[in-house]
Amino acid sequence: MVLRTPSAAIAAASSRRSILQSTIKSSPRSLLIRRPYSNSPLYSSPFKNRPQRQLPSLSSPFRRTIANLTEPKNDSSSTVASTSPVPPKKPRFRVLRYIWRATWISALGGVAYMAYHIYDSKHPPEQLPQDPTKKTLVILGSGWGSISLLKKLDTEDYNVIVISPRNFFLFTPLLPSCTTGTIEHRSIMEPLRHIIRHKKRAVKYYEAEATKIDMQKRVVKINDFSDIKGSVSETEVPFDYLVVGVGAENATFGIPGVKEHACFLKEIGDAQQIRKKVMDCIETATFKDQTEEEKARLLHMVVVGGGPTGIEFAGELHDFFEEDLRKWVPDISDKFKVTLVEALPNVLPMFSKALIEYTEKTFKDENITVRTKTMVKKVTDKNIDVEITQPDGTKVKESIDYGLLVWATGNAVRSVVRDLMNQIPAQKNSRRGLEVNDYLVVAGTEGIWALGDCSATKYAPTAQVASQQGNFLARLFNSMAKTEAVEVELYNLDQRIQASKDEEEKAQLNAEINIKGRSLSKIKQLSPFEYSHQGSLAYIGADRAVADLTWFGGAISSATGGELTYIFWRSAYVSMVFSLRNRILVLTDWLKTKAFGRDVSRE
């Protein structure tokens, strides 16, 4: 027998204790075995005052005891328990897992869709050259009507020429947001080259302004008014078919001083001018030794026009002040003021009465002054003279000082359209623009169509009307091309019948003529243009909007207003933007404005 020192005994005991603990941990709780303390000197502790727990040795009898305890009992109860089927566990949160997977699949599909469209937009295919045998279709303008026509038109059937002084399409519903920097102007500009480069047959574009339409010679005279002119600044473009979509000018109603002193809101340059002038007024008002009267005048922003454009600009201006100017320029917090002037009894006349009242109440809460039944009579560089109709019918004259005046009301006929109207006797009684028939053909002409704000129809001159007119004309021109192709085939078949002497061949040709004739009648069955009103939207400030919508062709209508409508307003406008590129830019601008605010620097 080998005698161990106390330290060696302690080490051996610790080793066996660790082995036993690992064995017990791996065994079921019911197999925990407790043994009495041993009095063997081998397990005696060097600390005599503290009792030590004796660990059993892992001898063969102990192993057999563990094995016997771990064997299952052969009684009937254990047998039944072991043989009875265990019910499967029901998976928890199955619906959440399906939603999670669907979300991932949708996200991957969206990324793939975006990647494809981005690649497709950056890599246009090869185009067919223009065919001298095809007819020439000239489109004037790059607004809602002209671009809608161009996007849906099959250019394989025509030699298309686009003439416009601006080489982009402007998404005008979001133009008021550019005046305060909520959206950058490039985000709502769709380059015209991006559109025409993706057409099947090459489309020619001339950046010029149409100055005259000669009906007798069937030519359009155009002039290059750019700052850098070439050797030729004026030329003529012949046409077989002509679509006039040049839009309209700002109507001043003959009021003196409007053109000289007011800011308009139709083009991207107008929005940039307003943005610059707002900051000019603010910085000038905070100039050293400025009088209180002059500060009040400079910080008074007046908007003339209670339509959607004027309402949305007033709301954007209020947001700019409340969310940014008040914080960065605290000196003007008690003097900044916005006034809306409208000659009619109420604002937003195309909306329902409930939404008109909601808009006026919201403006009152936002401290925007609404002055209805107020007609502008004269405009100077510092004030406007107005005539107010009182409830009793009396009229009172008043002068309103302003720092910024925005004119957002009415349309006027452009000079090129008026010149064309003077050439056509059937247009002598027209005042609002070119009168057209149910197929948008200009009355008194052949092969000339008009759409958008330059045409006089029974519908309001809105972007929605112009867009639907452009889609209609695209269907019309595509149908005309198919009709002409079928007529050529019918003519050739008729010539073959006359030249043929075989009766069986003549019968086959006659059957083919009948089939072509039926298809031709179907192609010609194009219904006249009928406008389908989808509703009206307007932003009124403070993250609120109003919507007057119609569903199922006008069978159901709804009028809503508030913050949820504002979310719908944003989503609707994003979906209406023509390209994926501009949708991403607009969304990015909104996020940037929310995170960092609007830029208050002067350009």
**Confidence grade of residue 343 (pLDDT, cut at 50, 70, 90):** very high
pLDDT value at residue 34: 47
Q: Residue 261 in 3-state DSSP?
A: helix
Structure tokens at 108: 């991957």
Structure tokens at 355: 């939404």
Q: How far apart are the first and last CA of the chain?
A: 102
Q: Of residues 114 and 40, which shows the higher confidence score? A: 114
- Read off the pLDDT of each residue in 186-209 and give the average, rounded to a whole number: 94
Predicted TM-score (pTM) of this structure: 0.80
Q: Of residues 414 and 499, which shows the higher confidence score? A: 414
Least confident of 119-123, 465-469, 521-525: 521-525
pLDDT value at residue 182: 95
Structure tokens at 110: 């969206």
pLDDT tens per residue across span 43-96: 444 444 555 555 454 445 545 554 554 555 555 444 444 555 666 665 666 788
pLDDT value at residue 17: 62
Q: Residue 578 in 3-state DSSP?
A: coil
Bridge partners (DSSP) of residue 401 are: 383
> 462-491 burial, b for 16+ CB within 10 Å, e for fewer?
bbbbbbbbbbbbbebbbebbbbeebeeeee
CB 468 within 8 A of CB 479: no
> 301-323 burial, b for 16+ CB within 10 Å, e for fewer?
bbbbbbbbbbbbbbbbbbbbbbb
Checking if the pLDDT of 276 tops 80, the result is: yes
Alpha-carbon distance of 274 to 180, in angstroms, equals: 8
Count of H helices and E strands in the chain? 18, 25
Residue with tokens 């830029």, as numbered in its chain: 599
pLDDT value at residue 497: 81
**Confidence grade of residue 274 (pLDDT, cut at 50, 70, 90):** very high
CB 541 within 8 A of CB 362: yes
pLDDT value at residue 114: 83
Backbone angles phi, psi at 233, to 5 degrees: -110, -20
Least confident of 330-344, 444-458, 539-553: 539-553
pLDDT value at residue 68: 53
Structure tokens at 335: 């003097």
Q: Residue 124 in 3-state DSSP?
A: coil
pLDDT value at residue 35: 47
CB 128 within 8 A of CB 156: yes
Closest CA to 589 of 171, 181, 110: 181
Bridge partners (DSSP) of residue 455 are: 434
Checking if the pLDDT of 38 tops 50, the result is: no
Average pLDDT, the chain: 85
Neighbouring CB atoms inside 10 A of 387's CB total 15
pLDDT value at residue 40: 47
**Confidence grade of residue 602 (pLDDT, cut at 50, 70, 90):** confident
Q: Of residues 84 and 325, which shows the higher confidence score? A: 325
pLDDT tens per residue across span 475-498: 999 999 888 888 888 888 888 888
- pLDDT above 70 coverage of the chain, percent: 83
Backbone angles phi, psi at 327, to 5 degrees: -80, -45
Alpha-carbon distance of 479 to 440, in angstroms, equals: 15
Q: Which residues contact 74 (CB under 8 A, 6 or more apart)?
A: none
DSSP class of residue 444? T
pLDDT tens per residue across span 226-241: 878 777 788 999 999 9
**Confidence grade of residue 18 (pLDDT, cut at 50, 70, 90):** low
Residue 367: how many CA atoms within 13 Å on its side-chain side? 12
Q: Which residues contact 533 (CB under 8 A, 6 or more apart)?
A: 464, 550, 554
Closest CA to 182 of 581, 580, 573, 575: 573
Structure tokens at 78: 């254990």
**Confidence grade of residue 158 (pLDDT, cut at 50, 70, 90):** very high
Backbone angles phi, psi at 163, to 5 degrees: -125, 120
Structure tokens at 249: 């000018």
Phi-psi group of 328: left, alpha or beta (phi > 0 → left; psi -120 to 50 → alpha; rest → beta):
alpha
Angle between helices 563-576 and 580-596 (to 10 degrees): 140
pLDDT value at residue 52: 52
pLDDT value at residue 384: 97
Checking if the pLDDT of 29 tops 80, the result is: no
pLDDT value at residue 32: 44
Q: Which residues contact 402 (CB under 8 A, 6 or more apart)?
A: 297, 300, 301, 302, 339, 382, 383, 384
pLDDT value at residue 540: 96
pLDDT value at residue 2: 45
Alpha-carbon distance of 42 to 54, in angstroms, equals: 10
| Sequence-ordered alpha helix ranges (H) in 167-291 | 175-178, 192-196, 258-261, 268-285
Neighbouring CB atoms inside 10 A of 449's CB total 27
Closest CA to 120 of 198, 64, 233, 53: 198
Q: Residue 266 in 3-state DSSP?
A: coil
pLDDT value at residue 80: 46
Least confident of 25-39, 181-195, 287-301: 25-39
DSSP class of residue 442? B
Checking if the pLDDT of 393 tops 50, the result is: yes
- pLDDT above 90 coverage of the chain, percent: 63
Closest CA to 411 of 598, 260, 182, 246: 246
- Read off the pLDDT of each residue in 286-294 and give the average, rounded to a whole number: 93
Domains of the chain listed by start with CATH number: 6-69 (no CATH), 120-248+413-482 (3.50.50.100), 258-412+533-596 (3.50.50.100)
Least confident of 43-47, 259-263, 315-319, 574-578: 43-47
Closest CA to 473 of 154, 226, 212, 76: 154
The full DSSP string for 478-523 is HHHHHHHHHHHHHHHHHHHHHH---HHHHHHHHHHHHHHHHHHHHH
